[in-house]
């Protein structure tokens, strides 16, 4: 019985649809598949509950207020600005993963958007045919063969693996406003940098409000849903979408009953 293998690549599926794809698959299979190994589940569930309560008390109200008072265009500019800060680090990770062409695109994006894009407020690079990539040091470690280790929920940061947790400090600092040179005309003192860091956090949280609404309305175990979605998404990213899906071809000649 022949088996066919189809490969979905990151280029064939837009990255903005990956989370939705992962969520849809999980909703479809429900509890049919055994959950991934989660040896720290008691701790993880307790930390997940803590993060949920903290988010409901602080971050979620702030994010809703931000969405209410900030025009969509301004929110787009804010997202573009912080996305532009990430591009050099994304390029470095693409180089480390053996993808020099993607890396050159990332560096070119940063140059174009930082100059012609008014400090990154406008994403002219995407319109010019230089799409934004999504790479970090956790993915680089995965490409280098470092095992992901157990799933762990971190305070404030949420879902992670042992491998991604070890890369988190470097990833966070590499794309932070604190990495801008002190003489930068946009960021000239620590107070402004603190303000930008807070704005980045609030803007990121606000972008998740829509997806969270769908999750809150579901009847599934929210902890398990978040865990499985995170692990599937990270494995997808580490493999750049090259995840084989096998199925048995029941229409092959070998399966045709030739009995008269």
- pLDDT tens per residue, the chain (260 residues)? 444 444 444 444 444 444 444 444 444 444 334 455 799 999 999 999 999 999 999 999 999 999 999 999 999 999 999 999 999 999 999 999 999 999 999 999 999 999 999 989 999 999 999 999 999 999 999 999 999 999 999 999 999 999 999 999 999 888 776 655 544 544 556 677 677 778 888 988 888 887 776 776 665 788 998 999 899 999 999 998 886 554 444 344 444 444 44
On whether the CB atoms of residues 67 and 209 are closer than 8 A, the answer is yes
Question: Whole-angstrom Cα distance, residue 58 to residue 197?
Answer: 16
Distance of CA 65 to the CA centre of its chain: 24
pTM score of the predicted model: 0.75
Q: Which residues pair with 248 in a beta bridge?
A: 3
Count of all residues that appear for the chain in the document: 260
Burial of 174 per CB tally in 10 Å (0-12, 13-18, 19+) = middle
Element (H, E) at 160: strand 158-161
Question: Whole-angstrom Cα distance, residue 7 to residue 242?
Answer: 6
Question: Whole-angstrom Cα distance, residue 209 to residue 63?
Answer: 8
Distance of CA 163 to the CA centre of its chain: 15
On whether the CB atoms of residues 177 and 187 are closer than 8 A, the answer is yes
Q: Which residues pair with 151 in a beta bridge?
A: 161
Question: Whole-angstrom Cα distance, residue 141 to residue 146?
Answer: 5
């Amino acid at each position: 019985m022949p088996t066919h293998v189809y490969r979905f690549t990151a280029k064939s599926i837009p990255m903005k649809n990956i989370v939705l794809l992962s969520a849809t698959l999980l909703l479809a299979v429900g509890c049919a598949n055994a959950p991934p190994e989660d040896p720290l589940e008691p701790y993880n569930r307790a930390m997940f509950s803590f993060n949920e309560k903290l988010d409901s008390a602080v971050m979620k109200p702030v994010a809703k207020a931000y969405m209410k008072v900030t025009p969509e265009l301004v929110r787009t500019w804010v997202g573009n600005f912080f996305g532009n800060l990430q591009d050099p680090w994304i390029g470095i990770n693409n180089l480390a993963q053996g993808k020099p062409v993607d890396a050159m695109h990332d560096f070119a994006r940063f140059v174009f958007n930082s100059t012609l894009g008014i400090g990154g407020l406008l994403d002219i690079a995407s319109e010019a045919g230089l799409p934004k990539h999504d790479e970090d040091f956790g993915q680089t470690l995965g490409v280098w063969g470092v095992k992901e280790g157990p799933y762990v929920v971190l305070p404030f940061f949420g879902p992670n693996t042992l491998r991604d947790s070890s890369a988190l400090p470097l990833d966070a600092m590499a794309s932070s406003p604190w990495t801008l040179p002190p003489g930068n005309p946009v960021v000239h003192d620590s107070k402004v940098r603190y303000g930008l860091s807070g704005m980045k956090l609030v803007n990121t949280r606000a972008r998740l409000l829509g997806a969270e609404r769908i999750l809150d309305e579901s009847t599934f175990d929210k902890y398990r849903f978040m865990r499985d979605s995170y692990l599937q998404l990270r494995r997808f990213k580490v493999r750049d979408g090259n995840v084989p899906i096998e199925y048995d071809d029941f229409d092959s000649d070998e399966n045709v009953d030739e009995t008269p």
